Structure 1
Amino acid sequence: MNKLRIILALVLFLFSCAFAQTTQGQTTTQSQTTVTGEIYFGRIAEPDKYILGVGDVIRIYLIQQAGEPISFDAVVSPTGAVSLPLVGSLKIAGLTLSEATKEISRRLIRFYPKSTIFIDLVYPRKFKIYVLGEVEKAGTQLISALSTLDDAIKLAGLKPSASLRRIQIKRGNKTIEVDYLKFLKYGDTSQNPYVEEGDIIYVPLMGKSVKVLGEVKDPGIYEIKEGEKLKDVLDMAGGLTEKADLFGSYIERQIDGNKQIISIDLLKLIYQKDDKENLELKDGDSIVIPLKVDKVYVIGYVAKPQVFTIVSGEFKNEVGGQSAIGESEIKEGAKISELISKAGGVLPNGSRRRVQVIRDGQVIKEVDLFKVLVKGDVEEEKVKLVPGDIVYVPLAEKTVKVLGEVKDPGIYEIKPGERIKDVIEMAGGFTVRADLKNITVERYITEKKEVIQLDLTKLYKEGDESVNIILEDGDIINIPIKTE
């Protein structure tokens, strides 16, 4: 009896070896015709997420402790199973690649003890989905199991009338609405989901839309959703080009057959984040962004914000037989301080220390008018203005008040780290009656007033910098009259 068992075991072992070799040879041939006949160029399959189905081709590697390594391909059959040597049929459809790896390894290790087993996806299955609606090739599409909505849309092709904002994926009893434009414009992968077998993709007609014309990076017709505004659409169009006119843009709207023109201040909308300029849009609106011309803009906290035309050579206006420059014109090469003066000067709450030159949306120069007008620093405003430049006077941030015996008492803007000596210089210096020994600085700290007593004779006569204190926002400097 024992001899019979030994003989049967030996026969089974030889049969299994022959079966494994035969299977390997068969699947190698199949691999050459089925798998390597079509090179896979798709996405990487994530083992923990990829769900196996009918038609998937997997490859099983057996690294034996003794003997040659074995590898063979297995195709998931229409019943959802793969055929394994010795093990037989094993259902893996519906399992992730990771789960299938564990199950196959668990079964094979009984017959190949002390072996290391690897399973890989050689080629993902293909299945049918349906793409309907506003597409060029409506109907059934054969697609890879690793394909996304984007792949399906590219196979079917979109009509000009197609909606990019409300594409529907019908999956069983569930409908998923996708804003495909967000994937195309912003790379939002959540709006490019993987497709599944049996999905019905429906592309509806475009809904409410507006037209964007002129100096944007991607002009065209854009579908809008409820609540979307001007800034949203400009972002969809890729934003402004460097040549966009920030002040000459407008919305053209038809109301009861009549054309209405609505001006847009793109500087306030985009650079100053003024939500009042972020207008609601209506179906059929045309947003027009013209090309900027030879103009420079002076805006912000100035008395008369305005647009200046740059002129070169002979000026346009003739006065008394001589060339003269107009009020709304500036000579090529004009300085920042000249433009500020022509715009009525800086308002009391405007910054004289941080006048900005903005070009193509970027601050290319910050000018300190104190250095220009008081210290005579010509290099400070050395910048050639070009068409489209914006000279912007922002709100003064940190200020101090200088009272008493200086030549020009008043409120002065300070920069971080500036000291009392700097501000005295801004105020024109002391008068002959100033009492340098009894200067006070009033400072408020959490609503509590602190008074700092200073003897500035130590600074001006002895060079003692210890009394040259750093000023803070809101300081009040009092310079009294000499009493002796």
Structure 2
Amino acid sequence: MKKYFYAIVLFFCSAVFAQTAGNYESSASAKDTDNMQAANVGTVQKLTAGEVTAARNALNASIAMSSSDYLVTAGDIYTLAFAVNGNVVSYAIPVDASYRIRVANITTINVAGNTFLRLKQRVEELVTQNYPLSGVQFVLTSPAAFKVVIDGEVKETAIKQAWALSRLSDVIAGTLTDYASVRNIVVTSEDGKKNTYDIFKASRFGDLSQNPYVRPGDRITVGRMTRKVTIRGAVERPGTYELLEGENLKRLVDYYGGGLTERADTNRMELSRTSERSNPAGEILYLDGTAIASDYTLVCWDTLNIPTYAELKPVMFIEGALSSATGTSLDASARLPVVFETGENYGTLVRRNKERFSPTADIKNAYILRKGNPIPIDVNKMLYDASYYAEEIVYPYDTLVIPFKQYFVSVAGAVARPGRYPYIPDRTWEYYIGLAGGFINEKNSGEAVTIRDINGKKMRKTDPVTPETTITASANSFTYYFGLYAPVITTVLSAVSTTVTILIATRNMR
């Protein structure tokens, strides 16, 4: 018996290699097995279409044999092998539409409605009865592939390929229109029997009876939905749902939405309605908690928003050198609203929002602006001093102002681009004049400048430039002023000359 057993094991090893190579003959030759083994140890090459198909069939066969509910399907190919008088015999057993198969030279059986495991049991029992101790083996070599038709509320009628473990949801994926129903899908089997399925129940509750395996000859007809509504906000399962007849607001909230969350504010619900014939442009309806209790009637494309009490929290503002301001101009500022808890102090608020502060923020000189009055606050200690306790309470509409740490030098006067430029230590006044585009030669003569520090004190050109210095290029060019005032002087002189001439002429006439 050991000899028979080893012979059968050797045969099935050869069959596996032959299957991977795309050989579905009833027995695998030693040459084919050797070639496959050589391919496995050799360099990896790009698979051909046939090899890809063979690999897919092998994978599907493995999945099918490990599934207790795989039904024998027309188009399946099975392999039966056993030992007779010391010789291994094997048979390829195809299944056709009659579902009658011949088991070796023993008998013919009807396998319609059998699972693979049931068929395997029947076949192995038959062989064992006729050939005791023959080491019988029965495997699925190539699972069947078949076509199903999909019509109804789909983008276009389609014929899709499936196999015996394809579920209804798999084959209709990507075919539905926006108006398709997943609650009313009719499957007409090859014998004309019709069953209606609800994919929502399968996906939501795991009821696989509503998402069956498709079978050869099935025709899938997708119905048209009657109402789809959307629920957002304070429910456990926000989303868009298809309602059945008689289902309205209460069912939407409790069943589809999974119920309200703990902080749901049902007194400020908003219902956006776009399909009301009396108002084609749409409208917003405001509902309270009684609307749920009374099961308010919904129409197609309604959108319900249920806010939370968290939206009623007080608001303050953080303004100045915030992260959103960086990347624009260096003196840009941002203003962000921040929701806080009543009674929260500034230490907690600052630490909670520390990621908002820009690297250029001057947190040491921050202050609170409350009703127009500035209140100094040391943000630096709040962030980096563990022993510091902030007693200042946050009030609604406070503004926490975070100044910029970046310093600037102002350049004005007779330059091409007057403005404020970032301060860089150890740079001379000429550097900042260059940033401003240089002198306007028509206005400035001799590079004349006036330099004043942050306190307004006049500085020399040789003095180091300090932060917030103002450099003014003088408009001292004679030609500039001459060109500016010459027309005026000429006009005045002409008027004086004319007046004098008239006076002299008048005197001579006397």
* TM-score (normalizing by structure 2): 0.44
* Higher strand proportion (structure 1 or 2): 1
* Higher helix proportion (structure 1 or 2): 2
Q: Give the number of the structure whose alpha-carbon radius of gyration is greater.
A: 2
